[in-house]
């Protein structure tokens, strides 16, 4: 016997018969699957391919010329469905298998979208440079409250009566020349204001009492005459002003009045003016200054007073603080001149 029996190929008619059976089975399975899904669920039916009249599906095409590796069998083809996972095919009119018909997944009609409330979007950030609101101008400082004493803090530089009047004032006493000055004033019936240093008034109370008795006025000129007076701290200035007033009042005796304060060297400040006013003292300045304290000569003292004086003026002279012989000599000339000019003697404004 030969080792191998010769392989027998199926005849063309047998092959075609198998293909027809297979295609018919596939078509039946596909139809059952589509019927199970139904159109009620929104399944899409595949479009039927064109088939020849009276046939289940397209006639399969002729088998490939490539020899089949399957062993020959005379048994009829199995009528079972294609293996799971393989796509069903349909036979075309010529017998050539057509492209697989793939059934898509079941789809449902889209539901109408539920409208959502619109949320306003915030405006985009501005790129314009930020602007600041206009800054209001600072309010001007409130004026200081008036002193409790009611005395003005303004420096006085004129007489109380005004008009053709003059106020004679003498600083830095009492001193050795004070007695001579009092004698001259009495001779011409003149009145004057004496700005006294506190410790000197305390050292010579008799002269202070004589000044009061003659009808003259008294003025506070600090305790020790420190200079520059404007640079003193508040507490020191307050002591110099208030203590000097107390010393003068004590030296003058009961009823002594001290209406003014004159800062040494004219060193007035808003602070020491307020201190003086708080103690009932009006700051006292001048309008005529012959600088007699520097002993410039009698003629210089006299000419300066005569050239600078105006009606209502306040003349600054000295009866203490050193040699005042030039002042006394100049006063002997000025007193008759003032009377001849029609000036009346007055006190500073209060």
Mean pLDDT for the stretch of residues 171-200: 98
Q: Is 4 a catalytic residue?
A: no
pTM of the prediction?
0.61
Task: Identify the band that residue 78 occupies on the pLDDT scale cut at 50, 70 and 90.
Answer: very low
Instruction: Look at residue 326 in the predicted model and tell me its pLDDT.
Output: 98
Mean pLDDT for the stretch of residues 130-148: 64
Cα–Cα distance measured from residue 259 to residue 152, given in angstroms and rounded to the nearest whole number: 11
Smallest CA-to-CA distance from 73 within 26, 128, 11 is with 11
Q: Which CATH architecture has domain 165-345?
A: Alpha-Beta Barrel (3.20)
- If one compares 73 and 158, the residue with the highest pLDDT of the two is 158
- If one compares 119 and 243, the residue with the highest pLDDT of the two is 243
Q: Is 225 a catalytic residue?
A: no
- If one compares 297 and 142, the residue with the highest pLDDT of the two is 297
Q: Is residue 263 within 8 Å of residue 155, measured between CB atoms?
A: no
- Quick check: 271 pLDDT over 50? yes
Domain boundaries defined on the chain? 165-345
- Quick check: 56 pLDDT over 50? no
Q: Is residue 90 within 8 Å of residue 27, measured between CB atoms?
A: yes
Instruction: Look at residue 102 in the predicted model and tell me its pLDDT.
Output: 44
How high does pLDDT run on average in the chain?
Answer: 78
Contacts of 128 (CB under 8 A, 6+ apart): none
- Quick check: 179 pLDDT over 60? yes
Task: Identify the band that residue 134 occupies on the pLDDT scale cut at 50, 70 and 90.
Answer: low
Mean pLDDT for the stretch of residues 302-324: 98
Cα–Cα distance measured from residue 184 to residue 340, given in angstroms and rounded to the nearest whole number: 16
Q: Is residue 241 within 8 Å of residue 219, measured between CB atoms?
A: no
Task: Name the catalytic one among 171, 220, 292, 346.
Answer: 171
Smallest CA-to-CA distance from 318 within 338, 346, 291 is with 291
Task: Name the catalytic one among 216, 221, 279, 318.
Answer: 318
| Lowest mean per-residue pLDDT among 5-9, 21-25, 204-208 | 5-9
- Quick check: 50 pLDDT over 90? no
């Amino acid at each position: 016997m030969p080792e191998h029996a010769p392989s027998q190929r199926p005849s063309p008619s047998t092959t075609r018969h198998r293909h027809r059976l297979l295609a018919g089975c596939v078509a039946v399975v596909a139809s059952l699957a589509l019927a199970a899904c139904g159109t009620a669920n929104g399944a899409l039916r595949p479009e039927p391919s064109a088939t020849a009249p009276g046939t289940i599906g397209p006639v399969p095409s002729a088998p490939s010329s490539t020899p089949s590796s399957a062993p020959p069998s005379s048994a009829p083809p199995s009528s079972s469905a294609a293996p799971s996972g393989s796509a069903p095919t349909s036979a075309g009119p010529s017998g050539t298998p057509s492209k697989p018909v793939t059934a898509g997944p079941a789809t449902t009609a889209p539901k109408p979208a539920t409208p959502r409330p619109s949320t306003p979007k915030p405006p985009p950030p501005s790129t314009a440079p930020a602007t600041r609101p206009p800054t209001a101008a600072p309010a001007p400082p409130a004026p200081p409250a008036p002193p409790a004493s009611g005395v003005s803090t303004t420096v006085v530089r004129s007489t109380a009566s005004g008009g053709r009047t003059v106020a004679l004032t003498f600083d830095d006493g009492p001193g050795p020349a004070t007695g001579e000055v009092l004698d001259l004033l009495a001779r011409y019936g003149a009145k004057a204001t004496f700005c006294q240093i506190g410790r000197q008034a305390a050292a010579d109370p008799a002269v202070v009492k004589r000044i009061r008795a003659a009808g003259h006025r008294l003025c506070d000129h600090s305790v020790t005459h420190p200079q520059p007076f404007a640079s003193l701290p508040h507490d020191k200035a307050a002591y110099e002003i208030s203590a000097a007033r107390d010393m003068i009042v004590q030296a003058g005796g009961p009823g002594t009045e001290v209406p003014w304060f004159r800062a040494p060297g004219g060193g007035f400040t808003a602070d020491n003016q307020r201190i003086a006013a708080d103690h009932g003292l009006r700051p006292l300045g001048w309008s005529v200054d012959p600088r007699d304290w520097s002993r410039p000569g009698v003629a210089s003292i006299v000419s300066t007073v005569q050239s600078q004086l105006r009606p209502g003026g306040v003349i600054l002279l000295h009866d203490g603080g050193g040699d005042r012989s030039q002042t006394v000599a100049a006063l002997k000339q000025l007193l008759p001149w003032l009377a001849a000019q029609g000036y009346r003697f007055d006190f500073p404004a209060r």
